Structure 1
Amino acid sequence: MANSRKSRNPSRNSPGSLEQAFERALADIAARVAISGPEARIGVAFSGGLDSSVLLQLASRYAQEHHLALTAFHVHHGLSPNADAWLAHCERAAAACGVPLVSRQVDVSDHGGRGVEEAARIARYQALGEMCREQGCKLLLTAHHQDDQAETVLLQLVRGAGLPGLSGMTALHVRHELIGDGVSLGRPLLGVGRAALEQACEALGLEHIDDESNGDLRYRRNALRNAVAPALEQHFPGFAARVARSAGHAQAAQSLLQDLAEIDRERCRAASWSDPLYVPELKTLAPRRTDNLLRHWLYLNRVQLPSQSRLEEIRSQMLDAADDMHPFFDFGAMVLRRIGNRLELHPRLGTPPDDPIALQWNGADPIAVPAWRGTLVFEAGDGLGLSREALSRHPLMLHRRAGQERLKLAANRPSRSLKALYQEAEIAPWRRLWSPLLYLNGELVFAAGLGMDVRHLVMGESVALRWVPD
């Protein structure tokens, strides 16, 4: 049963060592994400539990002293019959600190097979990110502490995780995949043990809620916290601090692997391509070094990291495929493809529009075409290009391929089928599908990825065309 607790010996000041440690940690986090000045806004994830109650007290004092705007954010999961009472408690506690509270209710009834615990975590972070962006907060603070860190590392250990998992949580997460863009996640209490927070809560006389689900041993973290951790503490006093220290060593090692991956990424970048990897260079790396680079590259492109066995399968099929083959791996929102001698990552696009799309050129601005996931750019000049008068007077239509189109790209070359031109340009079949054709007054004048048909070009007072995919 959820309830509220209050200290028996309230005091107006939290323990000095905790407050000093918090201020040092938060100052470092704020400096790294450039949070300062009267316009700066930070948020606190506030569940109303003991940890976040102490965090709110410390953060509100820090914000007042440093003239920062602070907002508390509460996520109402609706999983407990006490959820409404918890929200009311959080509203009172935030008001007592002079901090506005913003709340959001989420629905985790349909957890898609993830389990309630994981579904609630995902929904919570997504809601927190949305609220932060709505309120203009670029930094969100959570109350994760040293014991949480130890639990995280132990959970990753029993899952057989590699260095990224064994590194646990970092004090600053600039880009959290669930929170989303524009909001950094800070954990200023990560070096503080749970016992210190309990003492601070007692000293401050804070009321806090107890979530009855925290005692449910069906949840893995609860089982670890309530059954395993006490046994470890009995036989290995202070084990949480030592495990957290090991996580720091793992973070240092992982940082070195990322540095190595960056060196290899620069070496393996395909010539004239901004991000794809060049297969012949990848083949010169040892398998584990290739795996390290692939993990890093996938992470940078926000792809969920595959298991080791899956990664080995990707490496084998992608690197050993013939140049005229186009193997691919589906990562849900993203697709990994081999195109010739390159590995490329692309968002899942589906199929382009069936019907032609009419465009109207206004003489200057590019035309964004969301249905085709790209922008048609018009570059006016005095060289070879389409007639400005013709572009202004006649209709422009974007089409998908029908299969018999031909294009003449140079005056000294014959017209050729688009299929032959795509093959010569090494444009993969899936990319051809999303390369629209532009018709001017019923004539094919431009093919995205290939260029303009010279039979329709004039010299002087002309416009060159360029297609920029999103």
Structure 2
Amino acid sequence: MFPGSDALIHKIKSAVAALSSQPTGLGVAVSGGADSAMLAVAAAQYAAGQGLALHLFHVHHGLQATADEWLHRVHDLAHQLAVPCHSMRVTVSETAGYGIEAAARDARYKALHDMARVAGVRHILLGHHLHDQAETVLLRLLRGAGPVGLAAMSPHVERDGIEYVRPWLDVDRAQIVDAANSYAAQTGWQYVTDPTNAQDRYTRAAVRERLAPTLDARWPGWRDRLARHARQSAQAAQVLDEVACADLMSLDFAAADQSFSLASWRLLSEARQALVLRYWLGQQRLAMPTDARLHNLMRQMRQLHALGFDRAMRVGHGPVDIVCQKGRVFVAGRHANDDLNAPCTGPSH
């Protein structure tokens, strides 16, 4: 035990108790930094008390000169905690087209998924805390996100069959660092520091290094307020999802091909037309369109009949197309051999 550990362990206990199904084992994603390392320490104490198997997972990105040292440090921590540690090396492409940070995140989730399957666990704890949540809200505000985006990080989320749990989203990082320093003094194990956290060429580091100090000086409680905003946005997003789901079901929705009636869609208000389209795309795990692309899609869907009954619609959306054919709107593969000469037969509104 170490100072502050009881409160940190209790957060884990509450987060696990809130899960829809109780796990028989847990994984912890551990980079070697203070946050994830202390999560592993607290989780080890919690798991031992509950009779749960615990596994540490480390992803070696190879992006830092000290990456090998981090891997060894995590394995040393696992040995100290007497729990198994799994590590995987990944290759992060800087030419993926959507930024090194996003590419590293995707590679990390894939590696965690693969290690969890090997270890036989379905729940992985992540060490995100109050500072991470506030930074995420701020970044998404700056990028123009809506209610769904402003909900930021969820306390638990399912991804490819693995449920990721963030028990410390309302914990101040200072509390975690104090615990890490106390643990180091007691055991000699020292956490690592990622130099990219202070390199403001990375977007999140720029917020942390440039904006956060100014906000701390002028609005000391800004992180708590942004975290509260995230919780309220999550509630609003849930309500909007319920409305969108009900609207989609009212559009003569066909689950077999995820299609809906163009004529019924046209009866909705413009705001609900946009809402149901975003929900429909999200349910098919497709990327959200920009406002400009969404408005272009809606314009084409409204104008189909003004262009003549011999016209159909095919609008590119990432790797797929959004197609209107015979009065039905659906997603098709980019190279699908659909008969696009068939008329789109819904009435014009």
**Residues of 2 paired with 1:261 and 1:303: CA distance?**
16
Tell me how far 1:348 sits from its aligned partner. Answer: 4.5
Q: Is 1:126 the equivalent of 2:116?
A: no
Which residue of the partner structure matches residue 292 of structure 2? 309
- Retained in 2: the 8 A contact 1:47–1:75? yes
Q: Which amino acid aligns with 1:429?
A: D
* Change in CA separation of 1:24 and 1:272 when aligned onto 2, cut-off 3 Å: closer
Which residue of the partner structure matches residue 397 of structure 1? none
Select the structure of larger CA radius of gyration: 1
- Retained in 2: the 8 A contact 1:278–1:343? yes
SS in 2 for 1:338: strand
The 5-angstrom pairing of residues 16-95 of structure 1 reads 16-28=6-18, 31-32=19-20, 34-36=21-23, 40-95=24-79
**Residues of 1 paired with 2:255 and 2:321: CA distance?**
21
More strand by share: 1
Q: Is 1:429 the equivalent of 2:336?
A: no
Q: Is 1:200 the equivalent of 2:179?
A: yes
- Retained in 2: the 8 A contact 1:142–1:186? yes
**Residues of 1 paired with 2:312 and 2:43: CA distance?**
53
Pick from 141, 147, 150 the counterpart of residue 166 of structure 1: 150
Pick from 166, 170, 195 the counterpart of residue 187 of structure 1: 166
* Change in CA separation of 1:126 and 1:235 when aligned onto 2, cut-off 3 Å: same
Pick from 242, 257, 262 the counterpart of residue 240 of structure 2: 257
Tell me how far 1:350 sits from its aligned partner. Answer: 6.0
**Residues of 1 paired with 2:253 and 2:166: CA distance?**
38
Tell me how far 1:41 sits from its aligned partner. Answer: 2.8
Tell me how far 1:118 sits from its aligned partner. Answer: 2.2
Q: Which amino acid aligns with 1:22?
A: I
> Size of the alignment, in residue pairs?
335
Could you give the per-residue CA deviations for residues 91-144 of structure 1, whole angstroms, max 9, x where no partner exists? 100111122111111112443232322221221122212222232221121101
Could you give the per-residue CA deviations for residues 302-349 of structure 1, whole angstroms, max 9, x where no partner exists? 100101111111111123313543312223343221111111123445
**Residues of 2 paired with 1:125 and 1:207: CA distance?**
25
* Change in CA separation of 1:63 and 1:346 when aligned onto 2, cut-off 3 Å: farther
* Change in CA separation of 1:71 and 1:263 when aligned onto 2, cut-off 3 Å: same
SS in 2 for 1:195: helix
Q: Which amino acid aligns with 1:165?
A: G
Which residue of the partner structure matches residue 345 of structure 2? none
**Residues of 2 paired with 1:272 and 1:102: CA distance?**
40
Q: Which moved more, 1:110-119 or 1:48-57?
A: 110-119
**Residues of 1 paired with 2:56 and 2:255: CA distance?**
47
**Residues of 1 paired with 2:149 and 2:38: CA distance?**
28
**Residues of 2 paired with 1:115 and 1:301: CA distance?**
24
Q: Which amino acid aligns with 2:182?
A: A
* Change in CA separation of 1:15 and 1:60 when aligned onto 2, cut-off 3 Å: closer
Tell me how far 1:197 sits from its aligned partner. Answer: 0.9
Which residue of the partner structure matches residue 105 of structure 1? 89
Q: Is 1:337 the equivalent of 2:323?
A: yes
Which residue of the partner structure matches residue 227 of structure 1? 210
Could you give the per-residue CA deviations for residues 232-251 of structure 1, whole angstroms, max 9, x where no partner exists? 11111121011100111111
Structure 1: runs of 5+ lacking an equivalent: 1-10, 352-427, 433-470
**Residues of 2 paired with 1:65 and 1:431: CA distance?**
66
**Residues of 1 paired with 2:93 and 2:286: CA distance?**
26
- Retained in 1: the 8 A contact 2:33–2:193? yes
SS in 2 for 1:208: coil
More helix by share: 2
Which residue of the partner structure matches residue 372 of structure 1? none
Tell me how far 1:255 sits from its aligned partner. Answer: 0.9
Which residue of the partner structure matches residue 212 of structure 1? 195
Tell me how far 1:267 sits from its aligned partner. Answer: 0.3
Which residue of the partner structure matches residue 388 of structure 1? none
Tell me how far 1:273 sits from its aligned partner. Answer: 5.5
Q: Which amino acid aligns with 1:88?
A: H
**Residues of 2 paired with 1:272 and 1:113: CA distance?**
33
Q: Which amino acid aligns with 1:339?
A: Q
The 5-angstrom pairing of residues 380-399 of structure 1 reads none
Q: Which amino acid aligns with 2:55?
A: T
TM-score normalized by structure 2?
0.90
Q: Which moved more, 1:62-71 or 1:278-287?
A: 62-71
The 5-angstrom pairing of residues 401-412 of structure 1 reads none
Pick from 105, 124, 128 the counterpart of residue 140 of structure 1: 124
SS in 2 for 1:344: strand
* Change in CA separation of 1:431 and 1:297 when aligned onto 2, cut-off 3 Å: farther
- Retained in 2: the 8 A contact 1:14–1:203? no
Q: Which amino acid aligns with 2:65?
A: P
TM-score normalized by structure 1?
0.67
